[in-house]
Every structure is written in structure tokens, then in C-alpha cells.
Amino acid sequence: MTGAARFDPAVADIRWQRRWDDERCFIADTDSAKPKSYVLEMFPYPSGRIHMGHVRNYTMGDVLARYRRMQGFEVLHPMGWDAFGMPAENAAMERGVHPDGWTRSNIAAMRDQLKRLGFALDWSREIATCDPEYYGHEQALFLDLYDAGLVYRKESEVNWDPVDQTVLANEQVIDGKGWRSGAQVERRKLSQWFLKITDFADELLDGLGALDDWPDKVKLMQENWIGRSDGLRFRFEAAVQGASRGYPWIKAALSQSPRIDVFTTRPDTIFGASFVAVAPDHPLARAVAAENPDAAAFIAECKAGGTSAADIETQEKRGFLTGVEAVHPLDRDWRLPVWIANFVLMDYGSGAIFGVPAHDQRDFEFATRHDLPIRRVVARPDQDADTPIGDEAEPGEGVIVNSRFLDGLSVDEAKQAVIRRAQEEGWGSRKKAYRLRDWGVSRQRYWGTPIPMIHCSSCGPVPVPRDQLPVLLPQEVTFDTPGNPLDRNDAWRTTICPKCSGEARRETDTFDTFVDSSWYFIRFASQPVDRPFDKADAEKWLPVDQYIGGVEHAILHLLYARFWTKALKRIGRLDIDEPFKGLFTQGMVTHETYRGNDGRWIGPDEVRADENGQLIDAAGAPVERGRVEKMSKSKRNTVDPEPIVARHGADAVRWFMLSDSPPERDLEWSEAGIEGAARFVQRVWRLAAGCGEADGQDPDLERKAQRTIAAVGEAIEGLQFNKAVAQLYELVSAIEKAKPSATRTQAVRTVVKLAAPMAPHLAEECWEVIGGEGLAVDQKWPEFDPAMLVEDEVTLAVQVNGKLRDTLTAPRGLDRAEAEALALSSEKVQRQLAGAAPRKVIVVPDRLVNIVA
RNA sequence: GCGGACGUGGCGGAACGGUAGACGCUGGGGACUUAAAAUCCUCUUCCCUCGAAAAGGGAGUGCGGGUUCAAAUCCCGCCGUCCGCACCA
């Protein structure tokens, strides 16, 4: 039997995609009797066109979804759109389009692109977070959390652009300046809505222990992010420095804050304290600033620059001496100066610390700058109490010195001793502190889910009654001035208080888009019209068995989704502990960068090589090859998948995405790579098209095929697609070399099935040409006979002193003495030994003999 | 600043502590062809011995130590690169 000379993806792809659609292959049946498998990739932001990163991500998920389906699972593999967010507003400002229209046309375009790649998706469950049918339910869930006491309002800092008079996202702050205005950004306080994720800190932390199918690195990152640490919370009594007596701000400060609460994870170093420092937001700092213009000026300086952790923590450590003193709790005569310091965070612990310069690097830098004492209180075995501290702090273990009743104790013993004493004497207690902060969900933006609250001047904030949901985003908005258009939309903003019926105004902030993505996987599983999800249906599918996405979401999105799930469980809405049973974080797609003489970036499609191999641009000017970097618009090193798919077909692109690079690492896009993949697709096609019926057995090929079935299955289970690809190359080569036989014909069928999850259109075309029944997509995943995997003969590696000297073929199952005798009979071994008797011989059965001379 | 990862031929990468470099790409040589494309065969870590081939020897997994009969793999210390840091998604 012979088919067409070439596999033509332009025809085949569309044909089979239509067929799968007609047969409703990928519609998930919630009532199926089969075991379920929920495969999910992180849904995309509809930026306009899909990029190679999407193709890689969705190809991986697709391979797994199709593989599970062939294994007999009822598979849920849905797709949707994370459709709210800033880019739509930016487009509105720059191009005068409406965010809604812009987003919806992007979705339409990207949906077509995804369909062109032949993913096994259940499009009947498609959702977009900007649909009121989605975000209305989200508003209802938020109100459920509000009713459960998990929502509250507090002041929080935002980046404020004083020229544009608008709030900026961290990414809009560049080197401390606004991205459009270029003005120095300030930190400003706004009253905002928060979710009590810290209530779940222990659950979120302890839950990580059961996530066996998550990468260790992600669990570790979440653990560090939650940052639970044990320590001592205690208070310093505030006093007045002699010379400062009579300054008005001291009195104000003391009346405001007669005690200063501090938290420390190192109570053992309490005798090494040389100062106390409070955050610029601390009540004591504010009280001082109210009376002292210099302090106010210092605090204002601290407010300059962005709110991001990297911005704040890389600032130089600076302080302002208040004149207030703190009384050391273990010695009433010992006074510590109290500073306002820019490196103390109000959000962690109690917003105040005691500084131990000898054993904390930040305190060390601060003390050095302000000429404060640096006293050693921990000594390593090679040090004593008088060893001076070098040019950096010593945070490590040791024995306590210079610390009165603690001297001679270990760090740990001293911690316990101090905590015990504090509790006995009543000035402090053991306390856990978390780095995790509550989740601020308010955004001062239009294109997001409206927060369903109403502000009434007499009743305060009042939830929108359920029967008034969804609170719709108004369509009539303008973007001609910076800031949130909802604030200027009086018609929308003005409403009636549900409680007192007085005039009130709507909350004009919208949700952080992470709220939208914190429950979409539940809505995929169950989408009734009248409520967010049906509990029983959602629980049939959840948890997601395999979740796949970028490692950039390792902390925030994944933590928020876990929190949301646990919160729904607490309020009785969903009996699921963890949303994602398995997690995989894939690497990025990268590409070489190119620059012209003038330093401007040049896109790969404008670069070609001239006859001498010199790279030139479209105008013939020389181009310099830069480093390989993540594809990004700014570096112009993106490759648009669409023309590549049009040229090589979906399967070649999919195949290339899976080849070579391990999926967790970066993949470098290359022309040669995609061409190699396209060649392989044709090679498989030729193999199938040229394969006829034949008789006879081929045991070697049979064994190879069986091994490949085992290896490819194992590789896909472990999401090691590059290994699955390599295995298929080997089997295809072996079949090509083999003479016609019944075994060979069978092996071709095996190849088609093994390749089906990765190159599904090719598989259908091949399946048809070799006369397979039904569709390739519906075939059962092939089974293998474990007995067939074992070879009768093994290759023994023979080493002398750990160096390979010979390899010998031996029957399997040789005992130690036989293996040793065989190894010693080797001429090469004898030459190495040169007559010397072996001192020791190590035998690893069926693998290796190492002779130690 | 804090946190996380990664580092193996010309390139992407394989390798339960046990034969380093599977498989792919690139490149060289050859076959088929009037020619090209396509396809197929073959070689391709580096250095040395050798006229050549066969064969042999040495070195080698970022750098420096250590554990072990045996280390790409485990431990300690460096160096380099990348990613995240709460309002990008």
C-alpha cells in the first residue's frame, strides 16, 4: 500500500480537527463512569496573538491530556481567558479603543490560533473572566468571604505619580520614576480591601507537605514566602533621654507610645542590642513627626520611591534619632536610643526591632553608618568574647558570650532561656511571626471585576445585596485623563444605600486580576447559571490532576488559588483541600537577539546572512548577534507561531516544542530545529505509507518496540517529553533498518499510537493509511510485556582502579566469581595489572567489575 | 537586600553513585540524480603516538577542596548566568 508522497499538513490538520470536533472527542462528561483526569494549563491573558510560550505550555498539557485519554480516563482539558488587566487600558489610552472591544477581538484571534494547533480542548467550557457571567459569581463568592469575616478594610501604600495624579503599578515605576511622566514616585496611603490570607498561613504552609507532585523548588519558595518563624515578642518601656528632656515631641511620643513592642527571632542576642528602630509608619514615628519638622522631613524622604520590596530593601540604611530611649528589659539602667529607620517594615512583626549589629547584617550597616556600638554576644569555637567583629555581621551559630546569665549557652538554649524569663517576668511572650501579609485586592482601575460594595456616609461600607449582582462594569467610559475612569463616572458611581436608602456611592476600585484566576479552575469543572459552581460536580473533577504553567507564578497565583480553595472549604462551599494535585512549571522560549550598529534591536525576520556569512539587516547593514534571551517585544526577538504553523503544520511545531530541551528548562527557538521536526514528521509518514502486510517474526525489533512503549509511557508520566521524543527517534530508526515482517508492521502501528499525543494529525493520517480502525485519537495506549524488556546478554564494564579498561559481553546472571574470573581473563586488564595481584575486586552484577590493584 | 534555580562536545541535551556524550541540530565525506531539492549511508569531545588505517595512551561534565573501590551525580567553599519579590500577567 502506498499513500501520497508527502504528508500535507495544510490539508490534514484542518481535516482531522474538523473530525474531532464532529465526533465531540474532547467534550468532558461529568457523569462518565471512567476514572477522571483533569489536565489544566494556566489560561492566557488575551494580549492579541499567541506566542511561542503559549504554544509550548499548551502542547505539553495536550500531550498529557491525549495520553490520559488513550489510557481510558475521562479527561477534562478546558481553556479560557484571563481577560481583565492593565494592557487593555493601555491600549485604550494609546489607541482610543475600548478595553472590552480590544479584549474580545484578541480572544477571537487567539482562539483561532489555538484551534489551528489542534489541541484536545473542551471548548464548550470556555470562559472569559471579563464576562459578567463569570465575574458576577466572583462578586458573590467575595461576599461569602465577607460574611465569613475574611474580608476587611485598611490603609495600604500605593505608588503615586504626583504629576499624572494617578496610582501606578510596580511595573510602571522605573528607577523610582513614573513611566509616563518621569516624575519621582511617592508612596501614598489609600483605604483598601484585604483578604485574610494570613488566617490560613499555617494551613497553607502545612498543606505543602502533602503536595508530593509539586516541584520541591516551588514548595520551598512558598514556604519562604509564608516565612513562619518562631521568636519573642516583647516590649521596651520608653523613657526620655536626659538631654532631650523638655522637647515637645518626646512628650507626644511617650503619650502616644509609652511602650515599644518589638519582635525578634534572635532573643538570644538581647545583650548585644545597641539600638531600637521603628518603621517610618510606626505610631511613635508619626507622633514624633507631628511635633518635629526634621523627623517629618525624614519620614517624607523614606516615602520617596516605589513600594516594591526590591526598591525598599536596596535603599541605603538611613535613620533619624528621635531622642526617645528604650529601657532594656533585663537591666533597667541600660538605655537604648530609639531611631526611625527606613529598613524597618511596618508590615512584618510589630514594625519595630532591636538592633544587634554584631549578628545581623542590616543592623551592622546601620550601626556602622551611625556610629553605634557593635558588641559580640555569640562566639564560634575559634573565637572568644573579645574577638572583634570584622567587616560584616556574623549571623551563625556559636556559644553566647558577654551576656550575663546566658554566657556559655548555645544559641538555641539562650533563646529558650530568654523567652522563659520574659514570660515569667511578664514583659514578653513566645510568638510566631509570618512574612506573609494579607492580600490587598483593591485596584484603582477600570478594566477589572467591580468590587461589590457601596459606601454610605451614615452606614459605612455596605455589601451589595445578592439580588443586585452582578455589579456590571459601565461601558461608557473615557480614558482621556489618567486615573480610574470609574471615579469620574458619576452616573454609575451614584447609588442608594441598601441599608438606609440614603444617597451613597459605589466602590470604584476593581479586583486584582489574581482574584479572577483564583477560582477559574473550579468554574471550568462546573458552570451552572445561577451560582458559581455546583459543589458535587466540582468535586467530581477537582483537584486538578496536572497543572502546567510558567514558574513566574510559583508564588503569587499558586498561593492565592490555594488560599481561595481553603477559604471555600472553611465556609463549606467546596470540600477540596488543595486545588492542584500535580504542578509542573515549564521553562521559557528563548531566541537569539540581534542589534544594529546603532544599538537598536532587530527582529529575526529582518536578519539574514550575506554570501560571506556576515549577518545583515534588510537594508544590508551589518548586524551583531546578541545573547539568547526570553522572547520579548522590547528586544524584538519574538517569533510569531502563526506563519510557522502555516508553513510546517501544527505537528512539526508541536514536535519541536517537545524535543531537545527538558520541559522545565528554557527552549531556544531555531529555524534548524523546526526544520528537523518537520523532517521527522515526513519520515514517520513515509514509514507508515510504505508499510505493507508481511510475514515473519523479528525478535530484536519486537524487543525494541516493547522497550519503547515502556520508555515513552514512563517519560510522558514524568513529563519528560524530550526523552519520549528521543525514544521515538530510536524506534523509527530501528524500524527503517528492519526487513519487512509481521513484527515490523506491528511496530509501525505502535509508533503511530505512541506519537499520537504529540503529533495527533500525523497520527490520524498514518492510522488511516495503514488501515487502522476508527480514529487514532481513540486508540488504547499500547501495553508491553515486562518479560520482553530483559536482554539475555549484558555488557560488563571492566575497570582497573576505577578506570574503564575493557567491556565484555557476558550472559546475564553471572555470579560474582564468574564475573571476576572473566574480567581477569581480559588481555587489557592483564596489561594494566602487569603481573600484580588484585587487592580487591568489586562486582556489580550484570554491570561492572572494578579491580583495585 | 531577600528568596529560588541553573552550569556536560561547535549547539540543545542523555546518563538508578557504576561504560560520560543516548537522541537531535550543525558541519565533513560519500551514494542516488544531467543537475538540484528530497532521501539514504558514514564520520564528528579534545590532545598525543602513527605515512595511513587498525589500535593504543592521556585529559575531560564552571573553578578549588573532600567522601568513595568508583563522582556529572553526594558534601564544603567559590565563580558565573538566569528567575521571583506581594499593583505585570
For residue range A244-254, list pLDDT tens digits in order. Answer: 666 777 777 77
pLDDT band at A128 (very low <50, low <70, confident <90, very high): very high
How far: A723 CA to B15 C1' (Å)? 12
Residue A17 grid coordinates: 480537527
What lies within 8 Å, CB to CB, of A767 at 6+ separation is A752, A756, A775, A776, A779
pLDDT for the residue numbered A721: 95
pLDDT at A87 over 50: yes
Q: Does the complex come out with an ipTM higher than 0.90?
A: yes
Q: Which nucleotides of B are covered by protein (CB under 7 A)?
A: 1-6, 11-16, 18-20, 22-26, 38-41, 56-58, 69-71, 82-89
How far: A716 CA to B30 C1' (Å)? 38
How far: A58 CA to B31 C1' (Å)? 42
Q: What span, in angstroms and rounded, lies between the C-alpha atoms of A721 and A587?
A: 13
The mean pLDDT value for A510-532 works out to: 97
Q: What is the pLDDT of residues A750-794, one digit of tens each?
A: 999 999 999 999 999 999 999 999 999 999 999 999 888 887 888
How far: A660 CA to B8 C1' (Å)? 15
Q: What is the pLDDT of residues A274-289, one digit of tens each?
A: 999 999 989 888 888 8
The mean pLDDT value for A628-641 works out to: 81
pLDDT for the residue numbered A258: 78
Q: What is the nearest nucleotide to A313, using C1' and CA?
A: B1
What lies within 8 Å, CB to CB, of A238 at 6+ separation is A253, A254, A257, A258, A259, A260, A284, A324, A325, A326, A327, A338
How far: A50 CA to B89 C1' (Å)? 14
Share of chain A above pLDDT 70, in %: 98
Q: What is the nearest nucleotide to A553, using C1' and CA?
A: B84
Residue A20 grid coordinates: 474531532
pLDDT for the residue numbered A597: 75
pLDDT band at A226 (very low <50, low <70, confident <90, very high): very high
Query: Considering only CA atoms, which of A662, A515, A651 is closest in space to residue A588?
Result: A662
pLDDT for the residue numbered A2: 43
The mean pLDDT value for A600-612 works out to: 75
pLDDT band at A612 (very low <50, low <70, confident <90, very high): low
Query: Considering only CA atoms, which of A335, A352, A209 is closest in space to residue A285?
Result: A352
**Three-point CA angle A567, A578, A470, nearest 5°:** 45
pLDDT band at A243 (very low <50, low <70, confident <90, very high): low
Q: What span, in angstroms and rounded, lies between the C-alpha atoms of A448 and A266?
A: 43
DSSP string, A634-676: TTT----HHHHHHHH-HHHHHHHHHSSS-TTS-EE--HHHHHH
How far: A809 CA to B72 C1' (Å)? 26
pLDDT for the residue numbered A693: 85
Q: What is the nearest nucleotide to A167, using C1' and CA?
A: B87
Q: What is the nearest nucleotide to A437, using C1' and CA?
A: B86
Q: What is the pLDDT of residues A353-381, one digit of tens each?
A: 999 999 988 898 899 889 999 999 998 87
Distances (CA, A) of A497 to A50, A461, A504: 44, 9, 5
Q: Strand, helix or coil at A780?
A: coil
pLDDT at A611 over 70: no
Which residues of A162-294 form beta strands (DSSP E)? 166-168, 173-174, 177-178, 186-195, 229-240, 259-264, 275-278
pLDDT at A1 over 50: no
How far: A687 CA to B39 C1' (Å)? 13
Q: What is the pLDDT of residues A687-745, one digit of tens each?
A: 999 888 889 999 989 999 999 999 999 999 999 999 999 999 999 999 998 989 999 99
The mean pLDDT value for A401-427 works out to: 93
Q: What span, in angstroms and rounded, lies between the C-alpha atoms of A78 and A123?
A: 6
CB A763 within 8 Å of CB A655: no
More confident residue, A351 or A568: A568
pLDDT for the residue numbered A637: 81
Q: Which residue is nearest to nucleotide B83 (CA to C1')?
A: A552
How far: A807 CA to B1 C1' (Å)? 54
pLDDT for the residue numbered A4: 59
pLDDT at A666 over 90: no
How far: A542 CA to B8 C1' (Å)? 41
Distances (CA, A) of A541 to A26, A32, A67, A584: 15, 11, 18, 19
Q: What is the nearest nucleotide to A512, using C1' and CA?
A: B87
Q: What is the nearest nucleotide to A730, using C1' and CA?
A: B23
Q: What is the nearest nucleotide to A659, using C1' and CA?
A: B24
Looking at residue A356, its amino acid is: V
Q: What is the nearest nucleotide to A680, using C1' and CA?
A: B24
pLDDT for the residue numbered A152: 96
Q: What span, in angstroms and rounded, lies between the C-alpha atoms of A98 and A90?
A: 10
A470: preceding bond cis by omega (within 30 degrees): yes
How far: A800 CA to B48 C1' (Å)? 22
Average pLDDT, chain A: 91
Q: What is the nearest nucleotide to A671, using C1' and CA?
A: B25
Q: What span, in angstroms and rounded, lies between the C-alpha atoms of A462 and A455?
A: 6
How far: A5 CA to B34 C1' (Å)? 24
Q: What span, in angstroms and rounded, lies between the C-alpha atoms of A219 and A582?
A: 12
pTM for the structure as a whole: 0.93
